[in-house]
Amino acid sequence: MTVVGASLAGLYAARELRAQGFDGRLTVVGAEPHQPYDRPPLSKDFLMGAGDEGELGQLDQLALTDPEEMAELRAEWILGTRARALDVRGRTVVLDDGRTLASDGVVVATGARARRLPGPPLAGVHTLRGLDDALALRAELTRGPRRVVVIGGGFIGAETASSCVALGHDVTVVEAAPLPLAAQLGPELAPVCAGLHARGGARLLTGVGVAGLVGAGSGALSAVRAVELADGRSLPADVVVVGIGATPNTGWLAGSSLAVADGILCDDGCATALPQVVAVGDVARVGGVRAEHWTSATEQPRVAVRNLLAGRTVEAARPLPYFWSDQYGSRIQFAGRRGDGDTVRILEGSPEALGEGGFLAVYERAGRTTAALAVDRARSFMKVRRGLAAQENQAHQVNQAKEYV
């Protein structure tokens, strides 16, 4: 078996292959030179320099596995090498260095890459997706006070802004939408995130796009000096962090006949239209949904591997969406499937009283709870999350029973 992608979802797929009884040759291919590591801390504690110094020490903080487990997995790890193509007839993965890996089955877990702004590269402009990105940005932020402009008010942008404020930098967040995270949280509760920026000490500009970046110098020495907004304003900047989303890494699959549309199209069990090829994590569009969440990357592999070993889809992957974000000293937690038109009910606290104990809210439709949002109410939130998961499992069992009637 070959797992293409050596991050969170790829590691979990390798674990599941062994746990579910696969005893043959297992190869894991990773584009980065690093062994599997945890990404959520990159925009938070790690970016602020918490923990040991030195690159080896920094990687140890983030490691998702250890030498003992690596030995138990009995996998060949090919790191620092990209997959270049997939020959579906022979289920062969072609690597950038010319090697080919023939396999009985393939798990695609190639994740996604950060979107970038158009234009020539400028020093001081960063994205934050992987460890090397975090190391480069961290080095720049330790050179003294900087004027930082964060483009994009989503989770990565907001967490990075929060870390930059904590490091003592002057921070402005630019969000093209009228409110940050409106698509995820809805118009009623998205203002909460805007309030966190204000409380934390970052300026938030909403409803305005970026026209371009202005550099000074020439050639390789050209460095960013300002961010030009679509409304004509100019924001002085020494550091720019671009957090405008991610694009699934599917380019290497061109010509493979795998169906791709903002991710690899999979059925509800992570199986593609090609025999013995499944996809998991950020690169997979499972049952019509591509979810860039930690829980998807950790829960999809169990179902995907089961279906891969069975040679057909025998189980669906329907993990309850869950994400969290740490911003300006507060923890935001969300679970469920909010829909447009859902009503909001506050169960505890008040969104207007951030910093005074937080709040817990639920989204409801036709008398049924569809999702929950909490700020600094972890214990109460977990009770609601468990209830949502039980509700989802019950609905899934009912649907399965109908299929066999």
| Residue 316 belongs to some domain of the structure | no
Q: Which residues of the chain have pLDDT under 50?
A: 52, 404-405
> How open is the CA angle 374-378-379, to the nearest 5 degrees?
125
Q: Which amino acid is at 70?
A: M
Q: Are 342 and 373 contacting, i.e. CB atoms less than 8 angstroms apart?
A: no
CA distance 146 to 231: 24
Place of tokens 């104990």: 357
Look at residue 303 and tell me if it is in a domain.
Answer: yes
In this structure, the answer to whether residues 21 and 131 fall within a common structural domain is no
Please say which residue of 310, 344, 364 terminates a domain: 310
Strand 246-248 to strand 112-114: parallel, antiparallel, or no bridges (unpaired)?
antiparallel
Domain with 270 in it: 2-113+247-310
User: Which CATH number characterizes residue 46's domain?
Assistant: 3.50.50.60
For the record, the structure tokens of 268 come out as 């509800």
Structure tokens at 333: 């937690």
Domain harbouring 377, CATH code: 3.30.390
**Residue 161 shares a structural domain with residue 61:** no
For residue 10, give the nearest of 38, 32, 29 by alpha carbon: 29
**Cα 190 from Cα 179, distance rounded (Å):** 6
Residue 392 has a pLDDT of 81
Same domain, 236 and 261: no
According to DSSP, the β-strands at 223-229 and 210-216 are: antiparallel
CA–chain centroid gap for 34, Å, is 18
**Domain limit, last residue, from 242, 263, 290:** 242
Shared domain for 74 and 17, answered yes or no, is yes
> For the segment 59-85, what is each residue's pLDDT rounded down to a tens digit?
678 999 999 999 999 999 999 999 999
At residue 369, the pLDDT reads: 96
- 287 and 215 in a single domain? The answer is no
Same domain? For 108 and 251 the reply is yes
Run of H or E including 397: helix 378-403
Same domain, yes or no: 124 and 233 = yes
Total domains, the chain: 3
The reply to whether 297 and 254 lie within a common domain is yes
- Looking at the fold, whether 157 and 229 belong to one and the same domain comes out as yes
Q: Is the pTM of the predicted complex or chain greater than 0.75?
A: yes
What is 235-280 written as a DSSP string?
A: EE-SEEEE-S-EEE--GGGTTS---BSSSEEE-TTSB-SSTTEEE-
What is the rounded distance in angstroms from the CA atom of residue 343 to the CA atom of residue 350?
A: 16
Domain co-membership, 154 together with 99: no
Establish if 8 belongs to a structural domain.
yes
Q: Does any domain span residue 320?
A: no
Q: What angle (nearest 5°) sits at the alpha carbon of residue 174, between those of residues 230 and 190?
A: 120
In a domain, 157, yes or no: yes
The residue from 208, 242, 276 where one domain ends is 242
Q: What is the model's pLDDT at position 215?
A: 93
132 shares a domain with 14 = no
Whether 210 is covered by a domain: the verdict is: yes
In a domain, 317, yes or no: no
Residue 321 lies inside a defined structural domain of this protein: no
Domain co-membership, 131 together with 224: yes
How long a stretch of residues is the chain?
A: 405
Q: Which residues contact 319 (CB under 8 A, 6 or more apart)?
A: 295, 296, 299, 300
